[in-house]
Structure 1
Amino acid sequence: MSQCPSPIPRSARPSAPVIATSAGGAILALDLGTTTGWAIRGPDGLITSGTISLRPGRYDGGGMRYLRFTNWLTEIDRLSGPIAAIWFEEVRRHVGTDAAHLYGGFLATLTAWCEREGVAYQGVPVGTIKRFATGKGNAGKDAVVAAVRARGFSPADDNEADAIAILLWAIETRGGVL
């Protein structure tokens, strides 16, 4: 079996995600899905968030949502970056087969983009995010939204709230190092 050579030399890759400082780049947090929640802390320290719909159009092929996601990552890196690290919700269990397939596609797209661009990335278990935001690892979506609102944010939905919670977790725990 031959391996595809990596564009990033192994010695240049960080061994663990690095939390960016104000001088080191942006930190992006993602809640992957058809409606992907995102939150980013720019190099200036400003936090912005939102959602992006990756629902396919009527005439789109099966891979168009992943191409749009790749283009969105490139654009957010260009506009708000450079991105130093990406944290994402690591889902281990899905309600259905379709959800599992979609998540796998988004995860593959994200990790391939990060490898190509030399961006550190790390998954954060769902229970860790919920416990950080609410104090309870099995909290419901409404509890996470309420906890994020209590911190002064105004998420449009649970996807954006999850992304904000991931970003705050990454910043406040230095990615789980504390």
Structure 2
Amino acid sequence: MTPNSEVPDQRLEQGRLAVLCILALDLGTSTGWAIRSHDALITSGTVSLRPGRFDGGGMRYLRLTNWLTEIDRLSGPIAAIWFEEVRRHVGTDAAHVYGGLMATLTAWAELRGIPYQGVPVGTIKRHATGKGNADKDAMVAAARARGFSPADDNEADAIAILHWAIETNGGVA
């Protein structure tokens, strides 16, 4: 599914224009997130998916599922999801974790009929900073320049993804 053609940015709701709720994610053990709610308010943060000492291997994926369900319940319904599409990882473990998180996210979205789309890392960085290979500090600075106070680069990346999705209509504009 692609949010580009299926989810307009706004819809007519009871005679007035309503803003659709969209979610942006930087998937990882410390997942950055940013969400634009129905009142156009943008909030962001990070959620730790790090397994505990006595957790089984699947707990991080259950945590993501539970977190997605909760944010959809509290802020949603979510109309579309964009996530950072990573093509290259530093290590094998990081690649496995990312793949599991992406599988969990996409299955969760498919079950609910929520369109989703990955956005290449270079596209996000170029949109936020003007450089496709911007470092973590530059991404944090770009988020701060927009008036946000990200706790780390994961949250800054999610903010950048959300702004990319809003400003380019999900890559269509």
For structure 1, the 5+ residue unaligned runs are 1-9
Equivalent of 1:124 in 88, 104, 119: 119
- Determine the C-alpha separation between the residues in 2 that align with 1:74 and 1:170: 22
* Partner deviation per Cα, 1:98-132 (whole Å, 9 max, x = no partner): 00000000000000000001101000000000000
> What is the percent sequence identity of the aligned residues?
80
* Structure 1 residue 157 corresponds to structure 2 residue 152: yes
1:6 maps to none
Q: CA 1:88 to 1:15, structure 2 compared with 1: closer, same or farther past 3 Å?
A: closer
Amino acid at match of 2:166: I
* Structure 1 residue 45 corresponds to structure 2 residue 40: yes
For structure 2, the 5+ residue unaligned runs are 11-16
Amino acid at match of 1:124: V
- Determine the C-alpha separation between the residues in 1 that align with 2:42 and 2:8: 14
- Structure 1 counterpart SS, 2:142: helix
Q: CA 1:64 to 1:175, structure 2 compared with 1: closer, same or farther past 3 Å?
A: same
Cα contact 1:20–1:84 (8 A) shared by 2: no
TM-score (norm 2): 0.92
Equivalent of 1:96 in 78, 81, 91: 91
Equivalent of 2:104 in 104, 109, 134: 109
- Determine the C-alpha separation between the residues in 1 that align with 2:169 and 2:119: 12
* Structure 1 residue 29 corresponds to structure 2 residue 34: no
- Determine the C-alpha separation between the residues in 2 that align with 1:20 and 1:64: 34
Q: How far did 1:18 drift?
A: 1.9
Structure with the bigger percentage of strand: 2
